[in-house]
Structure 1
Amino acid sequence: MQQCPRRSLLGGLAATASLVAVGTTSADESDDATRTGDADAASNAVAIDAELEALPAAVAGESTTVSHIDYDRWLEADHPHDPRPTRMAFGVDADAIETMTTAYSVDEDFASTVVVLTGDVDLEGDPTSRTVAGVDYDRHEAPDEDELAAVVDDIVVVADDAGTIEHAVAASAGEGEQLLETDSRFETAFEQFAGADNVTVTITDDDDHVVPGTDDATVAYTVRAMTVLDADTIETVVAFAFDDDGEVTDDIVEAVEGELAYMATSDEPTVEVDGSLVTATAERDLAAERAAREHDSPGSLRADRDIDPDDEYLEIEIGRGDPTPIEDLTLELDDEVYDRDIWADGHGTLEAGDTIVVDMDDVEPNLSIMLRHDHAAGGSGSGTTILNNLTFEFDYDHDDDSLAVTYGDEFPLEGDHITLAAYDERPFVGRSEDEPEPHATADPWTGQTVTDGDAGALEDVSPGDHVVVGWQGRTHRDAIGSYRVSPPGDVEFEYEYDDRQLSATLSLEDERPADAYELRIDDDPNGARWDDEIDGDPAETQWSDETDTLSGETTIDVTDVSVGVTVDVVWVADDARVASTRALPSVHLEYDDGAIEHVGGDELPVSTLEVRVWGDDGDSEFALEDELSGEFEAGDRFDVDVDDFRHATLVYGDDHSVGFVAPDR
């Protein structure tokens, strides 16, 4: 069976897969009598069986998840969000789907998905008649997707390759091996929760598939099942089945119960142990969830850029949010819970415009501040970081490879916590085992309080280095200031589109050897201009061809420079970029009363141009040759049919922006 690259692994034992077109990812069990009785449960079980039969054994993997949703029953609840599928191939109307059964499997580096639909489902496009295993069916191919669909009897099967479709058609007619036949645990699980409206079963042979919060106790299968009790209540069950009764411990029971802790429930979850099966049951309070979603939690924290260390408190303004009880809120400083008696500042509720405070003794550089709100829909948070971009002045001496660093802010710093570090490449923001080490470090302010005007130095620094001023660390994450050491000189580029000629003017304050600089051209259209790596080959013309030394302004002209190439001026000794540009034409545009006019710049063939327009209703694009012919030159105009025009971009060739216009420009 053809498979597609895996997008994600199961995030946790009871987590459902991110299934194709499934708009909800939880499920639940209920006592059939609480809803419509045993007869309804039996009818639902028959319907599930019919759809499960269409799931082929070929989709089974090391980890396989099967989900079934009965939308006719599921939509009886007043959900806080629309639970229907959000994206369907073949133009399927989500409202027409009565049931959806999905199988999602994962193997080492691959994943595959099969979806089975019932209902009054119409597919776009003209089908072709096919036969497999003696079964006639209609096959559809999505024009813009990699998906195929088969219509056989009363079901629609969607998959990503023809082999899977054929296996599914054969399985649905009993002429091919079915997924449930590959492992009896599927049948056991679906029989146990046959009355649920939304049920998901996960089976895996992965030894790491354990109960969250525990170290061992390998799970045989997991189930999430949900059943609608009334418009405001859904009964939810999480079940974990083990191979052996002896693996069920108090820690296991507590961990299973914790799987429902995130929900808004009318009562505490109840846990039952039946041999090797542990289930936790709770009733979701949808009214509480809807209210939580409609409530705007306090957030958008704002602190003044200039903090006076002599103040008693640091004031933080709440930028948005509805009135929220203080007892539902938690403030964290660097992930540690902060004293509510301090930060609440006497407030009983918190809303937009209010101010909270932090004792100035607790304020330091790179301080992370997070306001969390626990509510019926789970929780939310809003945060900020203060004193993480302080003012430092940097002065690099190219002759002795030293960098002078001068502090320029009013907030005093403990010098023992400051480190200067130079990296050959841009330091990582995230954490990685391959995180680079600095090649030079210094602690110039040890034992002193650093105030405005205090200076330190870092030696052995080269052009192209990235320097971090670190607080209690020396990585980019610890930075309260940073600097890239630039080679000496400034460069101004000018590109003549008609002649395909590029001029580069190098300006220097001091005399430098001409061969210290090199102009390189990178023909790769995807070449990056701003990263540290410099590709490309030396141009045929260099400054060293004209003179041995450079001072003041010196210009060289390079011919036969193709449109779109990247041009770099490089400091050869350290392979560091002095300046960079793209060789592109330029067009000046003006917008007036629904039309865009060429008012200066290069003349370009309309066949090479595309226009991208943005308005309040989104964006659109069209080829300029649909509006004009020949050359696009000064004085030419074309209309743009868009409501509330915001801006437009003129694109040359593959994806080069060569002009921009907005109403106020």
Structure 2
Amino acid sequence: MEYPRRTLLGGIATTATIALTGASASATDESSTDTDTDGATDADTVALESVLAYLPASAGGESLVVNAVDYTRRREADEPHEQRPHVPAIDVDPDSIATEVSVASFDDDDYRQPIRILAGAFEIEDDSETAETDDGHEYDRYEVDTGDGFVASLDDLLFVVDDEAVLDDALSAVDGDTDSLLETDDELADAIDRVGDADSYTVQFTDESLLADPDDDGGDIVYVAYGETVIDSDTIELSYVIAFDDEDEITDEVIELIEADFAYMSTESEPTADVDGRFVSLTVERDLEAEREIRDHESPGSFRVDEVDPDDDLLEIELRRGDPTPVEDLTLEVNDEEYDADIWADGHGTIEEGDTIVIEMDAVEPNTSIRMQHDHEMGSSGSATTIFNSFHFEFEYDYEAETIDVTYLDEFPLEGEDIHLVVYDESPHGHITDDGERVEPEPQYKHQPWDGVLEAGAETTLDEIKPGDQLLVTWGGTSSQDSLNQYQINPPGVVDFEYEYADEQLVATLETDVEQPAEAYELLIEDEPADTQWADEYETLTDGDDATIALSVESNHRVSVVWGDDDLHVGATQTSPSIELEYDDGSVEHAGGDELSAADLELDIWSDDGSEQLSLADEVDGTFEAGDTVDLGVDDARDVTLRYDEQSHVGSVFVEQ
């Protein structure tokens, strides 16, 4: 049995990113960092050692991850994806943060980040509450919307903690009144001592083996530490230290795996591992210029097929995206199998936007998957699609007989034995469990009505099909991923709503193509039966006739109509005001509808520069009514939406360009 090897250093880097919650990676924006020729930024320099002293012993745990970042130094490097700190609950300029230290742990598959500490010359304009620790330290407290944590501002430090006790311990640790994390964890202190001179570093403890095969000896790790030091704007030096349980764990295979982890990194030279007792160390330099070139290079992809002619020998596929890329760096997969480049490249030496690749028609079948992968020094990127995945079928349902006629209308011949008609009484698309497992629903009915070649005009009838069922026409398998077409059997009838906001009167008009008992329909207000129903005024709803009821409904209520014993959805509305807007030369006009207080109305204006809001309280006196106009103050508006009481969208207009 073959076991996939673990990519140790790549995995550690991913874990470090998770642990550094709140730091986002983004493409470097020269305008976002105020950097002069000396590399100084808006943030003052703060030594990492001084921030580390705040980490309390109570923040420790199993599978510990400690991160430390000197943003002031990292900003001197022109990285393709810059780490930018983010603080929940408050608005802080990322460039004002100088350093950050955080602790996270993964205990029994549960993730916890008890503390993040950020230092710098920041300004906070958000509202806060003044609070005090048990030891008398006064601080500004900002509540976090999600979770139980909060942010504490104290002098030039921000503490993001998950409870008050952690903050108390952090301030006691720096005062020497309680143990710090480094004082109680000798292994962590040793790891930081080995990489602590770097501008940023991560230490992760783990009890896993580097080798995926549990029967292999060797590879049991205690921790991995790596540091990054800025050499110049185009170079960062990486230093790795891997500590093993015992030096006997370090086999030749382990060394090969460690060195192989740098295969997808732009480095100046091939790394060589050094062994010292139970420690393995490597030092290598990142080529940031090469990384930026890869970032800026657009890999070929975005496939388009104009038409499929079964009589052709080749299928042409146009690429609508991509910079010139050597064919030797590209791999094309058709139905998950690598396809011959001598065929698909069609004589091209490079592939770019506008080029056409080909595959043989013999390889084309319904739901053919195509994927192009671009391998480069930073890993790989790809583009994928499924072609030939939609075919024309006609569906005609008989409510009385509970049957459905299915007719094939496409000209492309299909093998009938591969076609399934699959009926579900629930959504056929499945769902993902909390464990990440995809669960597919079981169909209640599967049928293969055809054999031989299926041509236009072929038809069949399915029995015992009820409203609410979903019918899939599939190829090969019977899941939604195999679908060529689908049809939802809706309950009979459509409903139209008209709401008078000023009088709080709702008129609901029901029309059905088949005769139905009025009691089969029920009107609900906030999921509760309304006092007025169609059965109060009608016994039977006949084909083509309108059945109308009127009732009083307060504004901002959800109204829905359901049918049958299973309460199948027929239609719904929200009782809210409505205003028709018209756009003319930089302004919008109330062109009809309800009259509302201007103080409760706000316009969302979208333009090429983004969005902005305009309160009508500043533009209209009293009531916004028919004929009133508002100057948007924007010349290139694309879309305008009117919001009422900060929530309901009551009108909109799209501006033709």
TM-score range, shorter chain: 0.7 to 0.9
Deviation of the 1:212 alpha carbon: 7.3
Helix, strand or coil at the partner of 1:389: coil
1:609-638 superposed Cα distances (whole Å, 9 cap, x missing partner)? 332222222223344334334433211222
Q: Could you tell me which residue of structure 1 aligns to residue 35 of structure 2? A: none
Q: Which runs of 5+ in 1 are unaligned?
A: 1-9, 26-45, 524-535
CA contact under 8 A between 1:240 and 1:256: conserved in structure 2? no
Q: Could you tell me which residue of structure 2 aligns to residue 191 of structure 1? A: 193
In 1, the alpha carbon distance for the partners of 2:412 and 2:117 equals: 63
Helix, strand or coil at the partner of 1:346: coil
Q: Could you tell me which residue of structure 1 aligns to residue 38 of structure 2? A: none
Residue 648 in structure 1 maps to residue 640 in structure 2: yes
CA contact under 8 A between 1:13 and 1:210: conserved in structure 2? no
In 1, the alpha carbon distance for the partners of 2:549 and 2:354 equals: 59
In 1, the alpha carbon distance for the partners of 2:191 and 2:464 equals: 66
Q: What code does the residue aligned with 1:542 have?
A: Q
In 2, the alpha carbon distance for the partners of 1:319 and 1:382 equals: 11
CA contact under 8 A between 2:129 and 2:140: conserved in structure 1? yes
Q: Could you tell me which residue of structure 1 aligns to residue 516 of structure 2? A: 512
In 2, the alpha carbon distance for the partners of 1:255 and 1:559 equals: 73
Q: Could you tell me which residue of structure 2 aligns to residue 3 of structure 1? A: none
Q: Which runs of 5+ in 2 are unaligned?
A: 1-8, 27-45
Q: What code does the residue aligned with 1:555 have?
A: A
Q: What code does the residue aligned with 1:549 have?
A: T
CA contact under 8 A between 2:114 and 2:166: conserved in structure 1? no
Query: Residues 189-338 of structure 1 correspond to what in structure 2 (within 5 A)?
Result: 189-204=191-206, 209-211=208-210, 213-215=212-214, 218-304=220-306, 306-338=307-339
Helix, strand or coil at the partner of 2:264: coil
Q: What code does the residue aligned with 1:604 have?
A: L
Deviation of the 1:175 alpha carbon: 1.7
Query: Which is worse superposed, 342-351 or 503-512?
Result: 503-512
How high is the TM-score relative to the length of structure 1? 0.84
Helix, strand or coil at the partner of 1:289: helix
1:289-321 superposed Cα distances (whole Å, 9 cap, x missing partner)? 1111222222221111x3111111111111122
Q: Could you tell me which residue of structure 1 aligns to residue 103 of structure 2? A: 103
Deviation of the 1:426 alpha carbon: 1.4
Residue 497 in structure 1 maps to residue 497 in structure 2: no
Going from structure 1 to structure 2, the CA distance change for 1:125 and 1:596 (only over 3 Å counts) comes to closer
1:6-58 superposed Cα distances (whole Å, 9 cap, x missing partner)? xxxx9944531431443569xxxxxxxxxxxxxxxxxxxx9544322111223
In 2, the alpha carbon distance for the partners of 1:258 and 1:213 equals: 15
Larger RCO (alpha carbons 8 Å, 6+ apart): 1
Residue 166 in structure 1 maps to residue 168 in structure 2: yes
In 2, the alpha carbon distance for the partners of 1:63 and 1:657 equals: 48
1:88-127 superposed Cα distances (whole Å, 9 cap, x missing partner)? 8765444444433222334565622433344545555799
In 1, the alpha carbon distance for the partners of 2:399 and 2:315 equals: 41
Helix, strand or coil at the partner of 2:545: strand
In 2, the alpha carbon distance for the partners of 1:47 and 1:605 equals: 56
Q: What code does the residue aligned with 1:404 have?
A: D
**Which residue, out of 606, 610, 614, partners 2:598?**
606
Deviation of the 1:572 alpha carbon: 0.6
Q: Could you tell me which residue of structure 2 aligns to residue 660 of structure 1? A: 652
Q: Could you tell me which residue of structure 2 aligns to residue 441 of structure 1? A: 446
In 2, the alpha carbon distance for the partners of 1:182 and 1:456 equals: 76
In 2, the alpha carbon distance for the partners of 1:634 and 1:272 equals: 80
Helix, strand or coil at the partner of 1:559: strand
Deviation of the 1:138 alpha carbon: 6.0
Q: Could you tell me which residue of structure 1 aligns to residue 29 of structure 2? A: none
Going from structure 1 to structure 2, the CA distance change for 1:553 and 1:274 (only over 3 Å counts) comes to farther
CA contact under 8 A between 1:587 and 1:658: conserved in structure 2? yes
Query: Residues 363-402 of structure 1 correspond to what in structure 2 (within 5 A)?
Result: 363-402=364-403
In 1, the alpha carbon distance for the partners of 2:10 and 2:490 equals: 44
Helix, strand or coil at the partner of 2:171: helix
Query: Which is worse superposed, 654-663 or 169-178?
Result: 654-663
In 2, the alpha carbon distance for the partners of 1:174 and 1:238 equals: 32
Q: Could you tell me which residue of structure 2 aligns to residue 69 of structure 1? A: 69
Residue 590 in structure 1 maps to residue 582 in structure 2: yes
Q: Could you tell me which residue of structure 2 aligns to residue 537 of structure 1? A: 528
Deviation of the 1:481 alpha carbon: 0.9
Percent sequence identity over aligned pairs = 45
Helix, strand or coil at the partner of 2:166: helix
Helix, strand or coil at the partner of 2:105: strand
Query: Which is worse superposed, 143-152 or 561-570?
Result: 143-152
Deviation of the 1:503 alpha carbon: 2.3
Helix, strand or coil at the partner of 2:81: coil
In 2, the alpha carbon distance for the partners of 1:541 and 1:377 equals: 65
In 1, the alpha carbon distance for the partners of 2:533 and 2:380 equals: 61
In 2, the alpha carbon distance for the partners of 1:453 and 1:68 equals: 69
Going from structure 1 to structure 2, the CA distance change for 1:126 and 1:357 (only over 3 Å counts) comes to closer
Going from structure 1 to structure 2, the CA distance change for 1:215 and 1:621 (only over 3 Å counts) comes to farther
Going from structure 1 to structure 2, the CA distance change for 1:583 and 1:150 (only over 3 Å counts) comes to closer
